[in-house]
Structure formats: C-alpha cells, structure tokens
C-alpha cells in the first residue's frame, strides 16, 4: 500500500490534468523553442523521486489539513480553465502534485521530494513572460558592446539597423530564455546532488544565470558583427541556433570549475553539518474508507471539474458563429484581386477560429500605373477565446518569415481615436523590393501594440465577459509610392471596421 497509493494518486492527478499536460508535452516536442528539455527533465525528476522513495520509504497516512492548500491549487487550476488563462493552469500543476503527496505523506516525508519535483518548474512555458524583458536587456548590452566597434548603427526598440546594409531583430528566440532555463536546471540539479548548504546552491545558481545570459549576449553580438561584415551573406546568420549552443557549452566550463570550488569549500568547512534523514512518526494506515474519503474523492472531483470545463470550451468553439466580416476597406477605392498573399508574403498564424485575408488594388492608380500598382493586404485573425495552441501571441505565430524578409526600419502609424500602432519596413534578402506593414492586437476589447502587452491583456478577462483576441495586420507593396503614408491613410478606416465587427462578434459569443 505504501507504494501503490502514491502511484494511484499520481495516476488520478494525471487524468485530472491531462488537458494541460497534453499541451505541455506538445510544447516540449517543439525543439526550436525554450522548453525542448522538458522530457529529459521529467525523466531526471522521476529518477530522483524514485531514489528518494527507496531511501526514505514514506509511510502512507491521511493528513486532512493539507486539503486546504490542495483545494486552493485546484481552484487556481480550474480558474485557469474557466478563464482560458493557460499560464494559470500550468503554474498550478506542481502545487497540485505536491499538495496531493502532502495529503498522504505529511510535511516531513514530502519535503524531501520538493526539489526533485520542483525541477519541473523550469519546463513550464510561464517563463515566456520574461522574454520581452530579456530581449530589451540583450539589445542594451549589444548596443554597449557594438559601440566599441567601428560600426555605424541605430537601435530602435528591439531592432538594430545598419544603414545601407540591413537590420537585425532581437526576436523572442534571441532573448536568451532557453539558455537561462537550461542553466537554471543544471545548476539546481548539481546543487541537489552535491551541496548541503543553501548558500552554495544560491551562489551556483547566480553564477549559472550570469553565464547563461552572457552566452546569449556573446552569441548575438558575434552574429550581428559577422552579418554586418559579410553584408548579411554569412551562413552563420542561418545557423545561429547551432552556434549559440556551442557558445553556451563554452560557458559551462568556468561554471563547473566554480561549482567544483564550492564543493571543495563545503567539504573543508567546519560549519558543514552531516546530512540528516528526517524521520516522522509512522501513522497507522486509516483503511480504505479513510483513503477514499480523504484522498481519492477530492482528486476525482478535480478530474470531473477539469474535464467538464474542457468539454465546455470545446463545445464553445464548435458552435461559434462562422460568418465573415464585411470588407475591411472602402471597396469603392480598393478593388479585390482574390489573393491571400502580397508579393509572396502573408502572416503565419496558427489555428485561428476565423480568419479574413484579402489583397486589394488601388482602382485609380491601377489604370494609371498598370505595371507598378499599389496593392495592400488586409488580414484579420481571430480567436474566440485563447487556449493551448490557439493564442494570438505564441511562438509559431509570425508576422513575416525570417528567412526571406529582414526588417529595415520601424515607424508609428496613427490608427485613429488616439491610437498609434507599430509599423515596419521589410526588405527581401535577394532583391531591393520592400513591403510596409502595420499591425495591432485587439484583446478582450483593448488595443495593444506589442506581444507582451497583448499577452498580459488576457488578465482583465477575470473581470469581464470577453475572452476573444485578434490580430489586425495591413501590408502595402508599391514601388513608386510612400508605403507608410498609404498605411497612415488606410489604417483608421480598417481599424474602425475591424473593431466594430469584433465587438459585434463578442456580443454574439457572449449570448451563446
């Protein structure tokens, strides 16, 4: 029973959390993201937990006072399911697992498993919220380092522009988040296996964070410099991920020398205390009625609530109104050309509940300049509610393909009603042809101009009935016109039409 009951508890909990665990596993399988180490950490965590169990042999009991924190964690998870906040579901996974073990083992016996289970914290996608801050730090560091080189450059936001050469975007993948998480995992694991004092563990983790971030800064500045010197033709630009892991591996050498020094210091210290095995007075097994009432029933209730909300959300998607909006431009001026891309470009948006994309041509100028018409792409991508793998801000949603197009400059565009959205000029790598695009996120009735704010805009959903999120994007292609001026003229009307449609759609979904 001492071994079977914990396995049963974990199995029931896995059933209850399966909707979130399925999404988490899918993120771990995306090897170009920051969480591709997830399955490896899961194996290591499981091995350490089994090892701890064989050493300590916890005695099963029922400790009913731990139902309170378990219930709070369950409410957090169910609130994430109800409000469609994926991060809240993911954060609740580890407290739920630890809370369930506290319920059958108590504090002293369970505390030995805190760190092995806690390693999984570094595999949860909630760390994405650090990405924007890390991007800005990377830009600032690279601006400082590039100032020592004989290079003419301009920094604007997360873009580094080289006049006459091109530009680099310090994008999500350049934030250094993946190196940070791997470094934290390695340092925490090393500390668990080799250290006894909190001080040594904290020093190693601090050193790991510093070196992981430094590895990313070195990677980015080297790639930028090589790109500048090679006029953007170096193969290193396309192989920057592979190069980055080599740099990261190099930073592990001084890290493990430092780790070894801390280990020797602990061994020689007179303050080091012998490792103790906490013991706890064995509790008589309460019998099957106590186990079922105190442990199994609460977990089954969590499973029932979790699956009910999952089926409810799935039903909401299946019954959503699928009607398309009226044209988002003035068709008396703009003639549809029945295309879904502009000069080969269109945004790559994953699994929207509805999308409306069309290309238009200026009717008057089409007659005057048939060989170089002014064409615009207007795209509206909508999620009725945000959920795993269906979010307006996610790693695989791209405004433009990084391989073919590079940003040259950014600019602001007046979208009407006091709103200013972000625009950028993109250039094809193999030609001088350019596109000018502007975009904005409309999340739960609010306009946002960058990915981080659009992500955080989900939080007010706790206090209102809306849960929709949309991306509005307009692109212009013209060889004899001022693209930003065309966007400035066109965007207020597009924004107003899109907003009216989305507000009406939200009302319809709320009535359902």
pLDDT beneath 50, residues of the chain: 270-284, 288, 318-321
Predicted local distance difference test score (pLDDT) of residue 154: 79
Residue 470 resides in a domain: yes
Query: What gap in Å lies between CA 499 and CA 217, rounded to an integer?
Result: 40
Q: Which domain holds residue 92?
A: 1-112+282-318
Query: What gap in Å lies between CA 511 and CA 297, rounded to an integer?
Result: 35
Residue 84 DSSP symbol: T
Predicted local distance difference test score (pLDDT) of residue 146: 85
Closest CA to 106 of 290, 300, 278: 278
Residue 302 resides in a domain: yes
Query: What gap in Å lies between CA 144 and CA 157, rounded to an integer?
Result: 15
Do 206 and 142 lie in one domain? The reply is: yes
Do 38 and 174 lie in one domain? The reply is: no
- Work out the burial of residue 47: count CB atoms within 10 Å of its CB; fewer than 13 is exposed, 13-18 middle, 19 or more buried: exposed
Do 290 and 268 lie in one domain? The reply is: no
Residue 89 DSSP symbol: H
Residue 121 resides in a domain: no
Do 69 and 146 lie in one domain? The reply is: no
CA end-to-end span of the chain, whole Å? 48
Predicted local distance difference test score (pLDDT) of residue 205: 94
Do 267 and 195 lie in one domain? The reply is: yes
Is the pTM above the cut of 0.85?
A: no
Q: State phi, psi for 84 to the nearest 5 degrees.
A: 60, 40
Do 184 and 106 lie in one domain? The reply is: no
Q: Are the beta carbons of 380 and 323 closer than 8 angstroms?
A: no
Do 356 and 312 lie in one domain? The reply is: no
Do 418 and 403 lie in one domain? The reply is: yes
C-alpha dihedral sign at 438, 443, 449, 452: negative
Predicted local distance difference test score (pLDDT) of residue 224: 85
Residue 282, SS3 per DSSP: coil
**How do residues 147-159 score in pLDDT, each as one tens digit?**
888 788 878 777 7
Do 270 and 286 lie in one domain? The reply is: no
Do 445 and 467 lie in one domain? The reply is: yes
Do 260 and 292 lie in one domain? The reply is: no
Residue 120 resides in a domain: no
Q: Residues 6 or more apart from 7 whose CB is under 8 A from it?
A: none
Predicted local distance difference test score (pLDDT) of residue 312: 58
Predicted local distance difference test score (pLDDT) of residue 225: 85
Query: What gap in Å lies between CA 17 and CA 7, rounded to an integer?
Result: 15
How many folded domains does the chain comprise?
3
Predicted local distance difference test score (pLDDT) of residue 291: 53
Predicted local distance difference test score (pLDDT) of residue 126: 84
Do 207 and 242 lie in one domain? The reply is: yes
Output the CA–CA distances (angstroms, integers) from residue 283 to 8, 50, 174, 286, in the order listed.
Answer: 19, 21, 52, 8
């Amino acid at each position: 029973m001492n071994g079977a009951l914990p396995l049963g508890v974990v199995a029931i909990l896995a059933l209850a959390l399966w909707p979130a665990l399925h999404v988490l596993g899918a993120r771990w399988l995306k090897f170009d993201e920051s969480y591709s180490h997830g399955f490896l950490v899961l194996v290591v965590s499981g091995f350490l937990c089994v090892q701890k169990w064989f050493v300590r042999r916890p005695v099963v009991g029922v400790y009913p006072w731990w139902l309170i924190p378990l219930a709070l964690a369950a409410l957090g998870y169910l609130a994430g399911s109800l409000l469609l906040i994926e991060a809240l579901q993911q954060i609740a996974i580890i407290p739920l697992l630890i809370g369930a073990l506290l319920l059958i083992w108590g504090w002293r016996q369970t505390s030995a498993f805190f760190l092995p289970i806690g390693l999984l914290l570094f595999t949860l996608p909630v760390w994405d919220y650090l990405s924007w801050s890390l991007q800005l730090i990377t830009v600032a560091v690279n601006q400082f380092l590039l100032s020592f080189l004989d290079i003419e450059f301009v920094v604007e936001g997360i873009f580094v522009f080289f006049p006459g050469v091109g530009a680099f975007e310090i994008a999500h993948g350049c934030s250094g988040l993946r190196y940070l998480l791997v470094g934290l995992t390695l340092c925490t694991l090393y500390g668990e296996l080799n250290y006894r004092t909190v001080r040594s563990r904290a020093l190693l983790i601090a050193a790991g964070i510093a070196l992981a971030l430094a590895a990313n800064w070195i990677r980015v500045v080297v790639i930028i410099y090589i790109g500048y010197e090679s006029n953007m033709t170096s193969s290193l630009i396309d192989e920057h991920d592979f190069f980055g892991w080599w740099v990261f591996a190099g930073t592990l050498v001084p890290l493990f020398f430092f780790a070894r020094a801390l280990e020797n210091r602990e061994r020689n210290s007179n303050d080091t205390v012998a490792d103790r095995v906490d013991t706890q007075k064995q509790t008589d097994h309460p019998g099957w009625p106590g186990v079922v009432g105190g442990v199994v029933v609460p977990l089954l209730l969590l499973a029932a609530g979790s699956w009910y909300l999952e089926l409810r959300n799935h039903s909401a998607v299946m019954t959503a109104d699928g009607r398309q909006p009226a044209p988002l431009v003035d068709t008396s001026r703009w003639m549809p050309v029945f295309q879904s891309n502009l000069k080969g470009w269109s945004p790559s948006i994953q699994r929207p509940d509805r999308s409306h994309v069309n290309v238009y041509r200026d009717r008057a100028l089409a007659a005057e300049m048939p060989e170089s018409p002014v064409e615009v792409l207007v795209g509206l991508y909508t999620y009725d509610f945000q959920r795993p793998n269906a979010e307006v801000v996610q790693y695989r949603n791209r405004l433009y393909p990084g391989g073919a197009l590079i940003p040259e400059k950014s600019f602001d565009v007046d979208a009407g009603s006091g709103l200013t959205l972000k625009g950028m000029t993109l250039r094809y790598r193999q030609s001088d042809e350019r596109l000018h695009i502007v975009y904005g996120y409309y999340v739960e009735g609010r306009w946002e101009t960058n990915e981080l704010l659009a992500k955080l805009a989900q939080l007010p959903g706790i206090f209102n009935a809306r849960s929709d999120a949309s991306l509005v994007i307009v692109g212009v292609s013209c060889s004899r016109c001022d693209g930003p001026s065309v966007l400035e003229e066109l965007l207020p009307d597009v924004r107003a039409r899109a907003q009216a449609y989305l507000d009406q759609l939200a009302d319809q979904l709320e009535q359902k």
